Structure formats: C-alpha cells, structure tokens
Chains A and B, each alone.
Chain A
C-alpha cells in the first residue's frame, strides 16, 4: 500500500484472499451453491499498527481473521507473516507461527473452559509450545502474564465462574499474550461487555500494545470503539473491502457510500444533535446470490446503471485512502460535527 523502501516488510500481508464455502462438488440433482464469504481481500498491517476490520454481520470480517490464523484454509490468495508465506503450511509447519499470532475471542463466557483453573487456561499455550517446561516455571509465566493484564497471582487458582465478564476477558487476553505474540487478532473483544467495563478493556489493549509493541487486527462492528483504537480502518461489505483509510480520514471524509451510511447510522450520545440520517433500505443481500457488479448497489442511493457492470476495484483515491466505487463525483457526508 505505502511504499516503504527502507523498512521491514509489513508484519502481515494479505493478497486476494478468498474463502468460499460449498462449491463445485455436484450433488445428486444439482450443483451445490457457493457462499463467497471472503472474495478477494487484500491488506497489509505494519508492525505496531492497529488495523480494524469493520462491517456488519455476514460481511466476512470474522472469516478473514480465522483464515489469516489458518484456523480455516483459504480457497485462494496469499498470506504472508513477517515475509514468510504461510498460506499453505501444514499443521506442523504452522506451529511456530501460531505462537506469534494469537486470537482473543468475543465471548468471555464461552471461550474459557469452566472446568479449568485460570492457571491451566492461561498456561495452556505454554503446555503446547514448551511441553518440557517445569511446572514452577510455567506458574511464574502465568503469574507474570496475569499481572500484565491487571489480575492478581492469587487469581491463578480460581475458576472462570468466579470472575466478572471484564475480568474473564482479561483472562482471555492473558492466554493470548503468554507466548509473547507479535500479532493479536481480536474478534469483537469488547462487544459482550458492559459500557463501563468495555472502556477498561479497550484501555488495557492499547496499553499492552504500547508496552509490548503489539500489532493488532481488531475486528468489530462498533464504529465508536474502532474510531478510538485504530490507526487505519478497512470497511467490509459482503466479502469484499469497500474502503480502507486512516482513521481520521475515514470519519471525516468517507469516500464509499456504504461507509457514509454506516457512519450516519451510529447513534451519537448527544440529544441536541439533529442530523439527516441516511436510511439504508432492506437488508444485506444473501451471500448465496449477491448482486452483479458492485454488491452494495442494491441499497446505494447513488447507484447508476453502470454499477451493475463489473466489480469495482479497490483503488487509491488519496494518499493511503482506497475505495471500491466507480463514482468519483460524490461529496459524501461525515457524521455531524466532524471536519477534517
């Protein structure tokens, strides 16, 4: 994206990533239909950067995260981690990379085994990657990591049910950090938390990023949180990126009609604000039968007949600002009160 001749390659490079489900196997009577959950997604994340992937349910944002981690294999495309191509690595060959890229899950209730102590949960990655490590050494690593996320050594002996939602999410983050990863993929890590607790966890993630030099792929539908945490934002719609931009630019000068509508739909906690809301009609089309050409055109108030023609390419329209829309004559609105 940005040529940086003198710097190391981006920590993560994703090129033309596709993940299709179903597909060509022929059934008894008819072909199985294809769901193109991710359909040609490309982006980079530089070291130390927070890139957010935003979109609504069914946009494919979580599938991108899972595919990057190779929890599911891509249909096509290329994934490079610190310059190494990991697209087709076997399970064993993938193992050293798994230490360096870790996942934080959304639901702190479902993602922690209720029968395991915090020590065993947080220490599990150590067990896998360093099986010979003496128990006392493992215990010390767990306690250090718990301290990192604001928990006490005495918490190690307890079970998940003894903790609140916010504390559980800290446990999940500790488990992700214990192998000292370079890349953290956080899939809606604060969505299940109460507002006051959500702020605690967002602050913790940013603090850890600074202290540990983490790179973060932050997957979320919450634009207010994303606006706070990200350096850059990539907006997804129906399996494709429609806009990628630095955070401030995206919020003050959205270039894609979907981004404009998404920003205008976010309720602002100020009852004195009066604004014109761009109401999208209908739902996101079924990924089984997406519209031809631009997949947003069926809900887009600026759509032209030409939009049905071909899938618009993601192209750079300002430094670091990319969009996939053929209309360059639009002056899109920023949410009220925001100016560049």
Chain B
C-alpha cells in the first residue's frame, strides 16, 4: 500500500481514526466488497455502536481494524486505520507489518467476541489464558502474571478469583466466560476495546450485568469502545455515537440521541420501527412495521442506493442513478440518502 497521507491525528483525544477503509474478499464467485469507504473517529472514553444486520459489514470492519481478516490475496484491505497506542505513537494498522501488528493486538487494542465458549481455549485453565497475554506484552514472570490475572478476574466481578484461575472454560457459565474474555481483553489496559456482539449469546439478566461491567470499566480506564450489535435497545443504553451500516457502507452516523429521536436514513427509521415496543405490550396487535424484502446479494448489488429495493421512499431515476454520497445533514449527523430531506420533511 502506498503511504502518502501523513500519520497525523487531528485531535489528541482521538484513539482511532479510520479513513476510507475498504475490505474485499476473493471468492470463486468473484471479488466481494464487504466493506466500502468506511471512515470514522473515536475518542478516549467514547463508545461507538456499530449497528447493522447480517451481511452489513459491521463485523468485517472490526476484524479488519485489527487485521484479523484472512491474509492477502484472499482478502485485501485499503485505506488507513490510525491507532494511537498506549505509548502515544500513531500507527497505521492497515499497512503495519504482521510482527508489529502482533504487538498492537492485546496491548493497544483488544477484542471481545460473541461466543465466549469458542473464543476460549477449552484445554487451558482460564488463569493461564489471561496470563499469556500479560507475559507476552509485559514480560512478567508466570507467577506475577497470574497475580495480575487474579486481580483482573476480581475486577470483572468473578467471585473467588484465586480459585477460578484454575478453572477450565467448560466449568464456567456463559456470563462468567464472557467476564473472563473481558478480563483477558483488558489485561494490558488497551486504549481501544472492540466488542463484537458481546452480550448476544447471553440471557437478558446476564446481559445487564455485562453492560454494567463494561460501563464501569470504561469510566475507570477511559478506553474507547467499539460496540458491535444488532440490538437497538443495547445501543440506546451504552452508545455515545452510532454508526449504521448497510450492505458494506455507512448509511448514517450521529450521536445517540439525535439518531433515535430523528433518524434521517429510511433504513434506520425502518429498523427502529420494526422493534416491538415494551410499552405497547398486550395492547392489541397492530402488525409490526417490518422492512420488506432482504439484504441484497453482495455479488449483484442493485444500482444506486443499495437499500433502494426495500425502501418506501424509492424514486426511480433518482435513487438508482448513483450510490448516494454520505452527506453531513446536520453538524455531526451524516446520512447516505439523496432524499432524506424530502422524506423526513426536514430542511437540509
């Protein structure tokens, strides 16, 4: 990759600055662009929620940031991923050599996945799994690393942490495993935590515990969090800002309140309306406002706006003419829809 743009972040508080990120996969059926032209910044202590349905590119974006996607030529990454590390240095992760990338993962940026059982190694004790990262990045002895691991298990609310160090993943409940994953991710106090659907596999009462835990940890460490989810209730609860993705592109980005109060993109409005509301429970059964159709096939995207075929505001000749640009509709509120003003009745 050519390295012409300077590795400068505009703001000291910025932890991550993603510029024009593109990720595509080579498949027998052809080149699939999974993520196209994604740009965003995230500051210390901030939580950015990445929202979208299956195939929207939200998980691939997060994997691409840490370069956990397959190696070239099966997968190619374009654009810049500037990360300010723990030592203050700014690196472009999109072009960093793999051995340096290994130092970044876990130390400057860490990740928590959806399914804690498949992300933990079943044949190693959880204490050793947490200690491994500490020993790798900080060069501590096994004993010192295990001491630190016990402190981390205590921090994430696991009772009797010393004893739990010796437990195997299958001996823990789903919620406990996810706490272990979080402890592991936090072991080296990263600046950036990427959490990919971390509560989706958990029961609601356990989800509430984990969200509460993440919030408390973030207050303490001021780490930046990218929280990937499809659950709009969770978004409302934890996000400062929200980025909505559809078919590999960002279609709307705004602070959490304006996004929920006055969403500008028809897709976002449709998503918000399709969730059954608790306050209407048991009051008759108006059909839910479902979005018709399904997400487009990435190999055969529709012309123009990729949400066009499912959109109630679709205007032939306009919406299918070209991919709409991401427009700054209000300060800090971006939308990818040429008709947002006409459809919402709000002035541009």
Binding site for B on A (CB under 8 A): 56-57, 164-167, 194-200, 202-203, 206-207, 221, 223-230, 246-251, 261-273, 277, 279-280, 283-284, 335, 337-338
Q: From DSSP, what is the main secondary structure of chain A's interface residues? A: helix
The 7 closest A-B pairs by CB, nearest first: A227-B281, A267-B233, A247-B282, A248-B282, A199-B290, A196-B291, A56-B203
Interface centre among B176, B233, B278, B289 (most CB of A within 10 A): B278
Is B270 on the interface with A (CB-CB < 8 A)?
yes
Contact check, A200 vs B282: say whether CB atoms are below 8 A apart.
Answer: no
Q: List chain A residues, Cβ under 8 A from B280.
A: 227-228
Docked Cα-Cα span, A272 to B256, in Å, equals 10
Contact check, A224 vs B288: say whether CB atoms are below 8 A apart.
Answer: no
Q: List chain A residues, Cβ under 8 A from B144.
A: none
Query: B203 touches which one: A197, A206, A221, A247 (CB < 8 A)?
Result: A221
Report B297 CB to chain A, min CB distance, Å: 10
Contact check, B282 vs A283: say whether CB atoms are below 8 A apart.
Answer: no
With A194-B54, A267-B233, A269-B235: A283-B285 Cβ-Cβ less than 8 Å? no
Q: List chain A residues, Cβ under 8 A from B285.
A: 206, 228-229
Is B271 on the interface with A (CB-CB < 8 A)?
yes
Contact check, A196 vs B205: say whether CB atoms are below 8 A apart.
Answer: no
With A199-B290, A200-B292, A223-B278: A271-B54 Cβ-Cβ less than 8 Å? no
Q: From DSSP, what is the main secondary structure of chain B's interface residues? A: helix
Contact check, A228 vs B288: say whether CB atoms are below 8 A apart.
Answer: yes
Contact check, B256 vs A271: say whether CB atoms are below 8 A apart.
Answer: yes
Docked Cα-Cα span, A325 to B280, in Å, equals 27
Is B60 on the interface with A (CB-CB < 8 A)?
no
Query: B277 touches which one: A198, A224, A264, A284 (CB < 8 A)?
Result: A224
Binding site for A on B (CB under 8 A): 53-54, 173-176, 203-209, 211-212, 230-237, 239, 256-257, 260-261, 270-272, 274-283, 285, 287-292, 294-295
Interface centre among A166, A226, A246, A283 (most CB of B within 10 A): A283
Contact check, A271 vs B294: say whether CB atoms are below 8 A apart.
Answer: no
Docked Cα-Cα span, A81 to B176, in Å, equals 41
Q: List chain B residues, Cβ under 8 A from A225.
A: 276
Q: List chain B residues, Cβ under 8 A from A167.
A: 294
In the complex, the chain A residue whose C-beta lies closest to that of B236 is: A271
Report A282 CB to chain B, min CB distance, Å: 8
With A166-B294, A246-B282, A248-B282: A267-B231 Cβ-Cβ less than 8 Å? yes
Query: B230 touches which one: A57, A195, A223 (CB < 8 A)?
Result: A195
Q: List chain A residues, Cβ under 8 A from B277.
A: 224, 269
Query: B272 touches which one: A221, A226, A269 (CB < 8 A)?
Result: A269
Q: List chain A residues, Cβ under 8 A from B212.
A: 277, 279
Query: B270 touches which one: A196, A202, A206, A266 (CB < 8 A)?
Result: A196
Q: List chain B residues, Cβ under 8 A from A194.
A: 53-54, 230, 295
Docked Cα-Cα span, A196 to B295, in Å, equals 10
Q: List chain A residues, Cβ under 8 A from B235.
A: 269
Query: B173 touches which one: A165, A196, A226, A283 (CB < 8 A)?
Result: A283
Report A49 CB to chain B, min CB distance, Å: 13
Report A46 CB to chain B, min CB distance, Å: 16
In the complex, the chain A residue whose C-beta lies closest to that of B310 is: A196
Query: A195 touches which one: B236, B274, B283 (CB < 8 A)?
Result: B274
In the complex, the chain B residue whose C-beta lies closest to that of A270 is: B236
Contact check, A269 vs B256: say whether CB atoms are below 8 A apart.
Answer: no
Q: List chain B residues, Cβ under 8 A from A251.
A: 278, 281-282
